[in-house]
Amino acid sequence: MEISKTQSYITAENAPKGIEIKTSTRYGGFSSTPFDSLNMGYFTGDDITTVIKNYYYYQNITKTYNIVTLSQIHKDTVLEVDKENAADTMFSKADGLFTYENYLPLGVITADCLPVMIAGNKCISALHCGWRSLNAGIIDNAFKLFKKYDDIPFYAYIGAGICEKCYEVRDDLVQQLNPAYSPDQTLVEKGQGQYLLNMKKLASNALIYNGLNIDNIEISKYSSCCSKGFYSYRLENGKTGRMITTIQRAV
DSSP 67: -
- In the predicted structure, residue 1 carries a pLDDT above the cut 90: no
pLDDT band (50, 70, 90) for residue 251: confident
What average pLDDT does this structure show over 30-42?
98
**Positive or negative CA dihedral for 129, 76, 125, 239?**
negative
Per-residue pLDDT of 144-203, as tens digits, reads 999 999 999 999 999 999 999 999 999 999 999 999 999 999 999 999 999 999 999 999
Confidence at residue 124, expressed as pLDDT on a 0 to 100 scale:
98
Q: What is the mean pLDDT of the chain?
A: 97
Digit-coded pLDDT (tens) for 201-235: 999 999 999 999 999 999 999 999 999 999 999 99
Using DSSP's 3-state secondary structure scheme, residue 48 falls into helix
Q: Which residues pair with 22 in a beta bridge?
A: 11, 246
pLDDT per residue over 92-125, tens digit each?
A: 999 999 999 999 999 999 999 999 999 999 999 9
Measured in degrees and rounded to the nearest 5, phi and psi for residue 133 equal -70, -40
Q: Are 54 and 190 in contact (CB under 8 A)?
A: no
Other beta carbons within 10 angstroms of residue 101's beta carbon come to: 18
Q: For residue 86, what pLDDT band results from cuts at 50, 70 and 90?
A: very high
Question: Which sign, positive or negative, has the C-alpha torsion 156, 158, 164, 165?
Answer: positive
Q: Which domains are present in the chain?
A: 9-161+199-249 (3.60.140.10)
Rounded Cα–Cα distance for residues 226 and 94 (Å): 28
Return d(Cα 216, Cα 207) in angstroms, integer.
10
Q: Which DSSP category does 71 fall into?
A: B
> Which pLDDT score, from 0 to 100, does residue 206 have?
98
The angle at the Cα of 205, spanning 246 to 176, to the nearest 5 degrees, equals 100
